[in-house]
Each structure stands twice: as structure tokens, then as C-alpha cells.
Amino acid sequence: MKMYQSAMLSCFFLVSGYSVTAQKLKANQVPAPVQQAFKGKFARATDIDWKKEGNQYKASFDMGDVDHDVFYNAAGKLVSHSYEIKVAELPAAVQAAAKTNFPKHKLDDPERVETNGTVTYKVELDGRPDMKAVFAADGKLISKKEDID
């Protein structure tokens, strides 16, 4: 049974395009179009770490005291950008929806995520059980799952 579960999990990652492990890269291993696009948009970035995840290039970096993650395709197109924000910076609709959907939980570690032009907000919800949720900017709950980390 355990072997079957492992095989199914492996198939999920292969079919969904996600890599089970990310490959760490040195800056000189990142394609030139990706480097140029990154430097053009995030010239003040510090502590940059590059990884290849599937067919995308991920940069994790700091700008000031804020952590950022960006994903680019090999042609240098920005696919996704997420960064930490304060709870007070969440749209009022997201804060209200979180209170409605998770009345006994406390909002924590919010992130603003923009993927292909669509903005969502990812939050951790401290409580029993701890949860992770994603909300649209209008407060619509997109997904939720128990946080087992």
C-alpha cells in the first residue's frame, strides 16, 4: 500500500508539472533573459537565491526588510511575484472574509501574490487547527487547508 501511495504521489508531481525537489542555481546558471528581466524590475534586490522548479526559475530575495519570491519562465516573462505584507495591509474584504470563515483563528504572515496579473492573498490562520488560506482581493475564499508544517 505504501508503494502505491508513493507511486501516486510521484505521478501527481509529474503530471502537475511540479518538481519534488528544486535545483539550486548560481546566478550564472540562470538564462540571460531571466537575469535581465529580474535586474530590470528588482534592481535593489539583495540576498538573491536562485532555484529551478520544473520549467520555471525562482528567485528568493530581500528588498529592504521584505521577503520576495518571483517565478520566471525561460524567456524572462514574470509569472508570479509574492511578498510579505502586514495584516493591516490586507484589503478590508479579505480581513472580513477571514473573520467570517475562521472566527476563532488569528491572521498571521500574510502575503500578496500576483500570478499572471491576478492578485490573491495567502494567509496563515493560527488556531485549532492551524490553517492556510488563499483569498481573492474581493474576499472570496479560494482555497483552504490545514497547516501541518
Domains defined along the chain, listed by start: 21-84 (3.10.450), 87-146 (3.10.450.360)
Which ranges of 57-129 does DSSP label H, i.e. alpha helix? 92-101
pLDDT tens for the chain, residues 1 to 149? 443 333 333 333 333 444 446 899 999 999 999 999 999 999 999 999 999 999 999 999 999 999 999 999 999 999 999 999 999 999 999 999 999 999 999 999 999 999 999 999 999 999 999 999 999 999 999 999 998 86
Q: Quick one: 62 exposed, middle or buried, by C-beta within 10 A (0-12, 13-18, 19+)?
A: middle
Q: Which three cell numbers stand for residue 2?
A: 505504501
CA distance linking residue 62 with residue 72, whole number of Å: 17
CB atoms within 10 A of CB 94: 25
Structural contact between residues 108 and 121, judged by C-beta atoms closer than 8 angstroms: no
Structural contact between residues 128 and 106, judged by C-beta atoms closer than 8 angstroms: no
Q: Residue 22: its pLDDT value, please?
A: 82
Q: Residue 148: its pLDDT value, please?
A: 84
